[in-house]
Amino acid sequence: MVGLLSLLACNGDRLPAGDPVRPDVILVSIDTLRPDHLGAYGYARSTSPFLDSLAASGLRYTEARSHSPWTLPSHVTMLSGRSPLDHAVIEADRRIPDDLPLVQEAFAAAGFATAGFVSTIFVSDAYGFGRGFDRYEDFNIAQEDNLQHTVRAEKVVNEALAWAHQQSDKPIFLFVHLYDVHYPYLPPEPWNYQFDKPGSRKSTRYRNYEFYKAKPLPAERMDHLRAQYDESLAYADAQLARLGDAWAQSGRKVSWVVTSDHGEEFGERGSWGHAHTLYPEVMRVPLLVSGAAVSSPAVRHDRVGTVDVAATLAGLAGLEFASAGVDVRGDVPERDHVFETSRFDTARLGLLSGNRRIDVDFERDRIDVFHVERDPAEKIVTLDSDPALEQRLYALLGEPWSTAETVISPGWMLSGGKRVDHRFEGPGRFAVYPQDSAITGATTRATPLPEKVVLSGETRAQLKALGYEQ
């Protein structure tokens, strides 16, 4: 039945009329998408005509950031409205806690038909993302074919349209996640030669971030990768245009939120990839809000984040959803924004407060402070410490651990807003970063850590081939 409906969707049959009062809501997350590669954000290449049209008729945010530079924690933040330091799903072996509310549950409770169609393991139901969806299609994501980019945007959109054809009078909440802009940047014909010669899996097999830092790619190779990245974006945009056309032709009212989980470094720090740093090239993301609930198009310069996505989605549907974020269509207060990554051999925390961003690199025992208005690319270190900002950042970790004795950890231990490194002299309360670091000694934790996810050896090997395991 699904295959037949997919064919009907591709052939242009109209979607059912839908709810005349409550518009549909569509969330699109384009994995690894930098905003500065979209036409709406000033990019010269024609990579995104459909997304540009959403931007032109809606709200475009120039100061949107993710709170984590990789897929899993970023999407948990997106759907829960909680920062990674709050939800603590910051490693590939942790799943979403059952008691963490997700915005799709609010849509389901309000009578919306809910569905998600995703294309990578780190947004799959193995991690609990399917909770609250009537249908959650991750295409058996743990299998080898899925980790090798066979779940292209066309397939995701086909299945989303097939599902939408089965809905009738209910309003729809639809989550679409596309992975095509993520390495290895291999769009199908004719997009694969739109800006450069076609690439191949052998053209540049990803090693790891440190490898390319030690052996940077030649400029012509990096230019080729950027062209492939842009071609992948143009392909994804064309598939999203099919989704937009289906809604436009049906006459269903719809509101759109389009964003990304993180960006991509193309040599700005001497390497290639993401997850290792907290600089703008990997933390800035697009954010577009468009459609039925936006009456006046505008470019907004409010400082917003993926933590605001859940509240905005709920606001578009007139729903209540408790989160740390805000509906970005309204007044956005001045707030601190926190960032973190503990992927691979990293342990970095960041805080953006006013015009300053502090970047704490625990592994290298380094603290940098940037003035983001004078230096938006964060290339000039203005201070090598800021005790007040540092204490403010550490306080966001809370002090969930307690002990009556002296305890040690390979992670970094913090108490009273200060680092005590790897040894805490009890009794008292403390935090540890990364949050799931082992602790030797008798301790209790106020709230449990997220449960672990067990991935097969085969899946881990496939993730390693994509640079996710190093």
273 pairs with which residues across the strands?
A: 265
CATH fold for the domain made of 2-334: Alkaline Phosphatase, subunit A (3.40.720)
- In DSSP notation, 134-161 reads SEEE--STTSTTGGGT-S-HHHHHHHHH
pLDDT value at position 201? 65
Q: Within its chain, how far is the Cα of 102 from the centroid?
A: 15
The residue count of the chain comes to: 470
Q: Alpha carbon of 308 to those of 104, 270, 328, 329, 419: distances in Å?
A: 14, 31, 7, 10, 30
Torsion of CA 130, 263, 304, 259, to 10 degrees: -50
Report pLDDT for 144. Answer: 47
Name the band, by pLDDT with cuts 50, 70 and 90, for residue 345. confident
pLDDT band at 353; cut points 50, 70, 90: very high
What secondary structure does DSSP assign to 238-290, as a single string? HHHHHHHHHHHHHT--EEEEEE-S---EESTTSSEESSS--SHHHHB--EEEE
When pLDDT is cut at 50, 70 and 90, the band that residue 68 belongs to is very high
- What is the per-residue pLDDT across 377-386, written as a single tens digit (0 to 9) for each? 999 999 888 9
Which secondary-structure segment (H or E) carries 211? Answer: helix 209-214
- Stronger pLDDT, 302 or 209, i.e. the higher one: 302
Distance CA 70, CA 72 (A): 6
Is 459 a residue whose pLDDT tops 80? no
Q: Considering the chain, what is the average pLDDT of its residues?
A: 92
Mean pLDDT of 18-30: 94
Domain layout of the chain by residue ranges: 2-334, 348-395, 401-445
